Structure 1
């Protein structure tokens, strides 16, 4: 990711629609948008920010648009979930996702996170490869925290 072209910026309320649009695009492409998706995407401030989480975006300074988003959802003082990570079409495979994930992992560390986990689907091969590259390992004996029918894998890392 070219730091002169792209900036990583935190959530502000005026970016709520960008968060929804970036995530809804990938969910609709591969799955179906579920009730829990709509709850979070329609009010990320209430369900992520106000509960102790964080959202980061990647902004393309050339095109002046948000091109990626990722959330950090707080479950406990030392446990967070990497959630709702999406990169818009045309920017995938450019390293933006990795840079964004690394920034969200760093944010989790600064917040005292000891265990960071995510729930995903094995058919999202590029995402699976990225998570493994970042150091996430499959958590075999798991129970899903969020009831998304699309999730067939839980991965975790210890910070």
Structure 2
């Protein structure tokens, strides 16, 4: 059974491992990613954001975060599921947790930056109500997709 839990410092290596795997697989790793992966507490949590982990039998199999951009706006970020666990609905549990929390804290908009190579992820985002907008304000050179949803 998959449980979604709040991030704790002890899970930083798992957060790094799961995200660097997909970033490297698609040749998308950038210095901004590494700053976040090396210090998720300082770059996400300390600034009003949240991170969750998907656990199965004490193994971290997925991650997702929302980063506070401004009052009312959060970025869905660093969503990853271990390749061996994909296709089991884990990303749905994670994205639902992110959307639920964003609404809970009064966000009116959730946005994300992505890459057109990530077709499965992009389809998931569409299913949850994200729509394409012009790519502006991205901290990532490789982000050729920006999506938003009103909450």
Shorter-chain TM-score bucket reads over 0.9
Structure 2 CA distance for aligned equivalents of residues 76 and 121 of structure 1: 23
Taking structure 1 as the reference length, what is the TM-score of the superposition? 0.92
Q: Does 1:107 align with 2:80?
A: no
Deviation (angstroms), 1:152? 0.5
Deviation (angstroms), 1:46? 0.2
The match for 1:95 among 89, 93, 96 is 89
Q: Secondary structure at the match of 2:29?
A: coil
| Count of residue correspondences | 151
Structure 2 CA distance for aligned equivalents of residues 42 and 154 of structure 1: 24
Structure 1 CA distance for aligned equivalents of residues 34 and 115 of structure 2: 19
Alignment-derived partner of residue 51 in structure 2: 55
Alignment-derived partner of residue 66 in structure 2: 72
User: Which aligned runs of 4 or more in structure 1 are off by greater than 3 angstroms?
Assistant: none
User: What are the residue-to-residue correspondences of 1:1-159 with 2, within 5 Å?
Assistant: 5-61=1-57, 64-140=58-134, 142-146=135-139, 148-159=140-151
Q: Deviations over 1:10-61 (max 9, x none)?
A: 1111111111111001101111421111111000000000000000110012
Unaligned runs of 5+ in 1: none
Taking structure 2 as the reference length, what is the TM-score of the superposition? 0.96
Q: Secondary structure at the match of 1:33?
A: coil
Q: Secondary structure at the match of 2:138?
A: coil
Q: Secondary structure at the match of 1:37?
A: helix
Deviation (angstroms), 1:149? 2.1
Contact kept, 8 Å, 1:80 with 1:117, in 2: the verdict is yes
